[in-house]
A and B are shown apart, each in its own frame.
Chain A
Amino acid sequence: MKRTRIATRTLAALLSAILLLGTGGPGAAAGLKVGVVHLGSVSDGGYNQAHAEGVQAMKKNLPGVEVISVENVPEGADAERVMENMIKQGATLIVAASFGYLEPALRVAAKYPDVKFVHPGGYKRAPNLTTYWASTPEAFYLMGIAAGKTTKTSKLGYVVALPISFFLANVNAFQLGARSVNPKAETRVVFTGGFLDPAKEAAAANALLDQGVDVLGVIVDSPITVVQTAEKRGAYAVGYHYIGAQKFAPKGWISGIAFTWGNLYTSFGRQVMEGRWKSENILGSLKDDFLTIAPFGPAVPADAVQLVTATKREFAEGKRQPFPGPLRDNRGVERVKAGEAFPLTELRKMDWLVEGVIGQPR
């Protein structure tokens, strides 16, 4: 028992030493030190990489910015320790780049009121903690328009990690976009139960294609497998998280959506350096460049591209909503009344799938 405890402590001490060594230590030039905590690997071709690229863009745009980045940090006490360690190394801006870092970040923020924290997707704030997110349904609606115009069978499919509200909202928006241009469009959903299990995603994609689906979308950490499977079987594909996924489907690519945090992170950095940073809740979208739409593939008809561009403008001008009432869910229950729209700030409450989606929300 005692031996294991000593071993654990030695290991912990060793790890912190490595952490300190690996990141340069004290005595850096004046400017801004930014600490970034990642849940996964920054080369995942997906969620974590998008945040890392955003931070790199900030570093490029703002001379004097220094970055301390730690990957694969579990959500919980470990995250707190890593953040405190970064602060001890002089970091005055902390990017806690995963949803589950909210509580750890809030606790560390309370302890270090002079350090600024930013957190994606958080639903609680502090005087020194800003939350931000990019609202995705508008972009998924646009993907739905392109898919609804491109499909030949009017059967669309989505491979989704888990039935959580934000993902359900994305699938709903996709279906509504598709139906807005194709009244026969239906979207089948398969949940794989995990954020990254490529072999199971391939099996899920095949199961959907076997039902006559000819457009496959994907909401898991990396779109590569589903996009490749669709291409191999002559179907169309809609990507997510990684714009480069296009190269995996030269024929069947429709389009895709990816997060682009560079401009936002640059503005965070500039605000802290100029001393005018303040705690906010930022919900950005396509018009703020928090999201990018990938180039359209050769299979997408020209009128679909024009329609997507026009609809994107309507979203930006506030003339259109991705969830306009009246809306029923796929069990026939009315969810949004006529004349109203489901508010994009309440997406975490969306626990239903809209009419036309074939699948079970829980």
Chain B
Amino acid sequence: MPALLRSLLSGAVLSGTPLLYATLAELVSERAGIVNLGLEGVMLMGAVTGFVATARTGSAALGTAAAAGAGAVFNMVFAFLVIRRRANQLASGLALMFCGVGLSALVGAPHVGSQIAGLPELPIPLLADLPVLGPALFARDALTYAAVPAAVLLWWVLGSTRWGLGLRAVGENPVAAFAAGRSPHAVQYQALVLAGLLGGLAGASLSIGIAKTWAEWMTAGRGFIAVALVIFAKWHPLRAVAGAFLFGGAVSFQLLLQARGVPVSPFLLDMLPYLLSLLVLAVGGGARRHAAPASLGRVFQGTP
């Protein structure tokens, strides 16, 4: 039993970490009123840039920074389209996603099969030796350690700082925020830079954290799962932690059941995370107040 628990926890953290970064990225952008379906593309650009930078320089730290930077830069294409050009967010996002899939494949092609050491594991003395929790929680790489603190930090920023409150105001009612002296467009640009950084980190945690390889479209839909997880988390950073690790846990749980030879069809087991999501939505759905930012999907058009 402790062995099973250790496996499960370890797998949940592994699968949940990139999802958490991605969910936080989408959350920041949606709190500022912008739905970003291009997150998958942003993650891919982060993943490929991080991998190439790590392969070229040999430094996973530089790779991580490059991934975050690339995510932010790529997200600026989206920002220009939806903020400056006032293009439709859903269409722009999907276009950005496909653009990211193609561009990352192009950039990554010469580096398929390159070997990197990736982010090193940094076991925390004493804590890493704890029986069940140790290997799962305290013998991880820096990106994994930073994921939950990033969520807490974001929660604090959005809930308690002037900048965060302004960002939320823009997502709820940009006209009122404008009247209060904010520039909605400037705030949305800033939110999308932050979202790009986080999306790039999500990609880095896949390519140089977990897999230590680059493969075309290696995000495999995680950018879209993150969009769903934001709704699941009711746009709250701390609930995003629960959502990401619950979903990651369900993914690793089904793999674990297969490895243990449970006599259930692998097709059914592969549905498990999604069934769980449906269940949670069904149970928790009715009681909640509407939590979506009021101006989500609409871009500030200026005042009359």
Which A positions have Cβ atoms within 8 angstroms of B? 40-41, 43-45, 157, 163, 188-194, 196-204, 206-208, 210-211, 213, 221-222, 224-225, 228, 242, 244, 247-248, 358-360, 362
Contact = CB atoms under 8 A, between A and B. Distances in A.
A203 B216 contact: no
Contacts of A248: 115
A160 to B, nearest CB: 9
Contact of B213 (A192, A207, A224, A358): A224
22 contacts: A41-B105, A45-B112, A163-B267, A188-B259, A190-B266, A191-B266, A191-B270, A193-B270, A196-B215, A196-B217, A198-B211, A199-B210, A199-B222, A200-B255, A206-B10, A206-B14, A207-B258, A210-B3, A210-B256, A224-B211, A224-B215, A360-B264
Given A196-B216, A199-B210, A225-B211, A45 B259 contact: no
A51 B132 CA distance: 46
B260 interface: yes
A1 to B, nearest CB: 15
A204 B259 contact: yes
A40 B217 CA distance: 11
Contacts of B14: 199, 202-203, 206
Contact of B220 (A189, A197, A207, A247): A197
Interface in B178-223: 206, 210-213, 215-218, 220, 222
Top 4 A-B residue pairs of the complex, sorted by shortest distance between their CB atoms: A198-B211, A358-B261, A207-B259, A210-B7
B213 A210 contact: no
Nearest to A224: B213
Given A198-B213, A198-B215, A203-B252, A244 B220 contact: no
B33 to A, nearest CB: 27
B15 interface: yes
A359 B3 contact: no
B251 interface: yes
A316 B219 CA distance: 42
B220 A200 contact: yes
Interface of B: 3, 6-7, 10-11, 14-15, 18, 105, 109-110, 112-113, 115, 206, 210-213, 215-218, 220, 222, 251-252, 255-256, 258-261, 263-267, 270
Contacts of A41: 105, 109, 112, 216
A204 B251 CA distance: 9
B255 A207 contact: yes
Contacts of A362: 265-267
A229 B28 CA distance: 33
Contact of B266 (A45, A163, A198, A201): A163
Contact of A225 (B11, B213, B270): B213
Nearest to B217: A196
Most buried by A among B7, B210, B252, B255: B255
B212 A228 contact: yes
Nearest to B205: A199
- Residue among A43, A197, A203, A244 with most chain B CB within 10 A: A203
Given A41-B105, A194-B220, A199-B211, 8 more contacts: A41-B112, A197-B218, A198-B211, A198-B213, A204-B255, A206-B7, A207-B258, A360-B263
A194 B270 CA distance: 10
Given A198-B206, A207-B259, A358-B261, A228 B109 contact: no
A207 B216 contact: no
A200 B266 contact: no
A188 B259 CA distance: 6
Contacts of B217: 196
A66 B303 CA distance: 62
Contacts of A190: 255, 258-259, 266
Contacts of B7: 206-207, 210
A44 B115 contact: no
A194 B205 CA distance: 20
Given A206-B14, A211-B259, A358-B261, A225 B212 contact: yes
Contact of B112 (A43, A228, A359): A43
Nearest to B12: A203
Contacts of B266: 163, 190-191, 193, 359-360, 362
Contact of B109 (A43, A197, A199, A211): A43
A210 B15 contact: no
B15 A200 contact: yes
A358 B7 CA distance: 19
Contacts of B263: 360
B115 A247 contact: yes
Contacts of B212: 225, 228
B113 A244 contact: yes
Contacts of B261: 188, 358-359
Contact of B265 (A45, A188, A202, A360): A360
Given A228-B212, A360-B263, A362-B265, A203 B220 contact: no
A224 B109 CA distance: 15
Contacts of A45: 112-113
B42 to A, nearest CB: 17
Interface centre among B14, B206, B215 (most CB of A within 10 A): B215
A359 B255 CA distance: 11
Contacts of B216: 40-41, 44, 196
A232 B255 CA distance: 19
Contact of B211 (A201, A213, A221, A359): A201
Nearest to A362: B265
Contacts of B211: 198-199, 201-202, 224-225, 228
B260 A211 contact: yes
